[in-house]
Amino acid sequence: MQAAEHLKLLLQLQLASDPSAVLHLSYVLSTLTPQCFFPSSHLSKWTTRINALMHSKDPGARWAGLCLAHKTSVYSRTVMIEFAHTWLGVAIPMLLKSEPLPTLKAAIRLTRTIFSSAIEVSEFQRQVSTPNVPKFSSALISLAEKYSDLELKVACLETLTKLIPLYPTTNRSSHSALSALCLRFLNGSAPAPTDGRLLKAASSLYATLHLTGGKVGAANIWRKSLDETLSFAWGAFLSVRTTFPSEVRNAINGLAITNDDPISSISLNLDRLRCSVVILNDLLSATTHRPVQVPVGYLVKLIAALLMCDGEEKIEGFIDAEIRAMEVSLVPSLWEFGCQMLMCLAECVQYHLDPYLSRLASMIAFRLEQNMETTKRLSFLDALNTLLIHCHTLNSPLIPTRLAKAVLPSLSVVLTSAPDAPSLYGNVMSTKDKKGKKKARNYEGEEVFKVSREVVCQTSDDGKVLLAALRAIELLLHNPNLSAALHSLTSRILLAMLLALPKMSPALLSVDPSLYSVVYQRVQTICIELSIGTTSVMGKGLPLIIEDVLTDGQATYSQRMFDLLLHPRIPPLVRSMPHVEALSLFHVEESQEEIDAREALELSTSKPKPTTITQDITMEDHSASTAAPVIPNETQTPIIPAVSAPLAFSANVPGKFQDIQQMTASAIPMEMDPIRSLAEPLVEVTTKKAVYSQVSISQTRTIHAPIEDDDDEDMPTINTESDSEED
């Protein structure tokens, strides 16, 4: 009852006159609810008022009537079916007249809502939709060609894209006009490129035109559209590589290269190539009623040509320097187009891309090994992740290792460089130089007040690169063909990141505070996954990961992970313990291959400086005296190194695991070989300060060595009568 009364008040106040309806339209639309259109005595008055506004001579009133009719159709399907024929009789003719743009857009919205809301009502389809859909499609084509307003063009194309799957046979007669309309917007633009919204709308419409051929002819139309677009893409690609040698130039019969104006031709063909990539992606993602044959080999050939572009090779003969410079500048754009096509193709064909997986992965690894901008690196990382997710595991012993080496530099940026010694233990420099000026004074603890530290991820793209690299490393660690040395190095880097992130401020990681938690959770998940496996039981990194899980703020998640780490759900394999190479936490355990990989990544380890231990040894001639030599009282000061925490690459990351059993000087046995005690120093488990302590041990030992004279020793007697062969 209250909703009906509200409808009555709107009719009496806000909609009493045409100017009032235009003025209060926003308020009326915001207060309407589905309950307002329940059967009542005021509902007929409401529809009558809408019809009066739609037939008004005032353009504003007609616009208000169309908006009210659209809102009514959204909230009440019954009212829409009852008055759809009347409203369409007013809205469709408006599209053929010279109406203001807001009125045309309102008429398009109303008509689209009517045609798409009652598809299952057969009688409505027969009486209303079938006669009016062709008229509506023709009106939209005319509007898109006639008006230059971008929003109106996009609205027309999006409406056609939505109607064709609903009424494919009804729009069959308009296939040629629709195809010409799409290609008009997809033919490229120069010097300004095609607008992104218009490009997406036209490409989406072009990717649905094959449905007009029915269930039988749709597959053939789709394949024909794909082949034509692929040829168009090859022609555009070769047109922007005129100064580079190409093996496929004579084999591709694509778009002819225009040489009238090379400068404008380059920008035009680049936009054509961009349009072709978008069309190919939409065609691969389109819905077909029957299976179709996808030319995977030809698509991979185009992708490989885009990814392997560079600016070094050149053709023989005369080359225009200006054209050459422009074509070289387009190489990063070609890489991006190739990555976009590769991602879409991998998502669509998935395992059918396996025969080309090694080749594509090698191309991505080659590009990631080079220094490039963040945005370009992000494209290759996204393409790599898509390949690893949607295809089978790489069956190669070299490519996964090569990919991991190329991805690791994107993760090592989190590990900040260690500060210099003077900044940590600052000595006051009071000396003067030759000019009499004092040097800068560095005081202890001064680094706390320094605010000149650079943010690791200064832009949003840097944060995306970090997340994409973490995802890629996680997928590569699942590959059994990854070399043991690089698997160990990757595990150490991830563990160092896990220990370094809690010591880092979120503002120091990125300008976006939310990135810190996402990165930390991702790193923690990967480290836990590495420790849960049966091969990591009793691993040296397990205590560190357990303590990190216990200190996590998420209680439920931490308890579950802690339980998995201590009580694996899978029994351990019946075999010997894993080798040290599985997870090396000490620099002394690094293999030469792992050291080479770490140095290639420009990563250093935090290890103590070697300390030389000297000991005076007194040597005497034992034959001169029979007195026993006495080693004088000597204070031995062996260096007791702490067991290093996981190697903090380019960072001073303190250890988090502290053993409760710490050895003291009093616990050292007094009777010990002095030489052996120096060769095998005691080891103390690392503390949270991770400093190398020195314990002074004083020992006084007297060794009584018996002196025997070799000349006085009796010769041993030999029993010549004995026979060893006799029993």
Residues 160 and 181 in one domain: no
Per-residue pLDDT of 172-187, as tens digits, reads 999 999 999 999 999 9
Per-residue pLDDT of 223-264, as tens digits, reads 999 999 999 999 999 999 988 887 555 555 444 455 567 778
Q: Cα-atom radius of gyration of the chain, to the nearest Å?
A: 39
Residues 137 and 40 in one domain: yes
Per-residue pLDDT of 23-45, as tens digits, reads 999 999 999 999 999 988 889 99
| pLDDT of 49 above 50 | yes
Q: What is the mean pLDDT of residues 560-566?
A: 67
Residue 125 pLDDT: 92
Place of tokens 């989406």: 204
Give the best-scoring range by mean pLDDT among 340-344, 370-374, 580-584: 340-344
Cα pseudo-dihedral 25, 28, 31, 33, rounded to 10: -110
Residue 351 pLDDT: 95
Answer whether residue 395 is part of any domain: no
Per-residue pLDDT of 110-123, as tens digits, reads 999 999 998 889 99
| pLDDT of 660 above 60 | no
| DSSP code for 127 | I
| pLDDT of 164 above 90 | yes
Answer whether residue 576 is part of any domain: no
Per-residue pLDDT of 255-302, as tens digits, reads 445 556 777 899 999 999 999 999 999 999 999 888 999 999 999 999
C-beta of residue 91 within 8 angstroms of C-beta of residue 135: no
Q: What is the mean pLDDT of residues 642-665?
A: 39
SS3 212: helix
What is the length of the chain? 727
Q: Measured between alpha carbons, how far is residue 391 from residues 232, 346, 498, 516 in Å?
A: 28, 7, 29, 30
Q: Measured between alpha carbons, how far is residue 425 from residues 157, 419, 557 in Å?
A: 69, 10, 41
| pLDDT of 562 above 90 | no
End of a domain among 350, 365, 380?
Answer: 350
**Hey, how many other C-beta atoms are within 10 angstroms of the C-beta on 175?**
17
Residue 196 pLDDT: 95
| pLDDT of 628 above 80 | no
H-type helices in 429-482, by residue range?
460-477
- Which contacts of 499-507 are long-range, i.e. CB under 8 A and separated by 24 or more positions? 499/544, 499/548, 499/645, 499/646, 499/648, 499/653, 499/654, 499/655, 499/656, 500/414, 500/415, 500/416, 500/648, 500/651, 500/653, 501/414, 502/548, 502/551, 503/653, 503/654, 504/414, 504/416, 507/455
Q: Structure tokens of 381? A: 């990382």
Residues 6 and 132 in one domain: yes
Answer whether residue 268 is part of any domain: yes
Residues 248 and 180 in one domain: yes
Answer whether residue 96 is part of any domain: yes
Residues 146 and 207 in one domain: no
Residue 56 pLDDT: 95
Residue 580 pLDDT: 52
Please give the Cα distance from 447 to 370 (Å, whole number).
Answer: 34
| pLDDT of 108 above 80 | yes
Residues 152 and 187 in one domain: no
Residues 4 and 148 in one domain: yes
Question: Domain range spanning residue 93?
Answer: 1-167
DSSP string, 651-701: S--------S----GGGS-SS--HHHHHHS---B---TT----B--EEE--
Residue 249 pLDDT: 57
Answer whether residue 62 is part of any domain: yes
In sequence order, the β-bridge partners of residue 316 are: none
In sequence order, the β-bridge partners of residue 369 are: none
Predicted TM-score (pTM) of this structure: 0.76
Place of tokens 């991770």: 690
| pLDDT of 648 above 90 | no
Which has more pLDDT, 542 or 285?
285
| pLDDT of 589 above 90 | no
C-beta of residue 462 within 8 angstroms of C-beta of residue 511: no
The three state secondary structure string of 129-153 is: HHHHHHHHHHHHHHHHHHCCCHHHH
In the chain, the percentage of residues whose pLDDT exceeds 70 is 68
End of a domain among 301, 323, 350?
Answer: 350
Low-confidence winner among 139-148, 435-444, 584-593 (lowest mean pLDDT): 435-444
| pLDDT of 633 above 50 | no
Which has more pLDDT, 73 or 246?
73
Answer whether residue 222 is part of any domain: yes
Low-confidence winner among 23-32, 133-142, 301-310, 647-656 (lowest mean pLDDT): 647-656
Mean pLDDT of the chain: 78
Per-residue pLDDT of 476-487, as tens digits, reads 999 999 998 899
Low-confidence winner among 88-102, 442-456, 489-503, 636-650 (lowest mean pLDDT): 636-650
Number of compact structural domains in the chain: 2
Give the best-scoring range by mean pLDDT among 76-80, 287-291, 546-550: 76-80
Residues 269 and 323 in one domain: yes
Q: Structure tokens of 195? A: 């607008």
Residue 6 pLDDT: 87
| pLDDT of 586 above 90 | no
Phi, psi torsion values for 593, nearest 5 degrees: -65, -40
In the chain, the percentage of residues whose pLDDT exceeds 90 is 52
Answer whether residue 589 is part of any domain: no
Helix (H) or strand (E) run with residue 181 in it = helix 175-185
Angle at 136 between CA 132 and CA 137, to 5 degrees: 120
Q: Measured between alpha carbons, how far is residue 390 from residues 271, 307, 346, 402, 584 in Å?
A: 29, 20, 6, 20, 32
Residues 289 and 148 in one domain: no
Q: Structure tokens of 253? A: 């019969």
Residues 192 and 312 in one domain: yes
Per-residue pLDDT of 447-475, as tens digits, reads 555 555 688 899 999 999 999 999 999 99
Residues 113 and 153 in one domain: yes
Answer whether residue 468 is part of any domain: no
End of a domain among 300, 332, 350?
Answer: 350
Per-residue pLDDT of 411-437, as tens digits, reads 988 986 544 333 333 333 344 444 444
Residue 320 pLDDT: 84
Phi-psi region of 603 (alpha: psi -120 to 50; beta: other; left: phi over 0): beta
| pLDDT of 666 above 70 | no
Residues 196 and 339 in one domain: yes
- Is it true that the peptide bond before 295 is cis, omega within 30 degrees of 0? no
C-beta of residue 341 within 8 angstroms of C-beta of residue 306: yes
**Hey, how many other C-beta atoms are within 10 angstroms of the C-beta on 719?**
6
Per-residue pLDDT of 300-358, as tens digits, reads 999 999 999 988 877 777 788 888 999 999 999 999 999 999 999 999 999 999 999 99
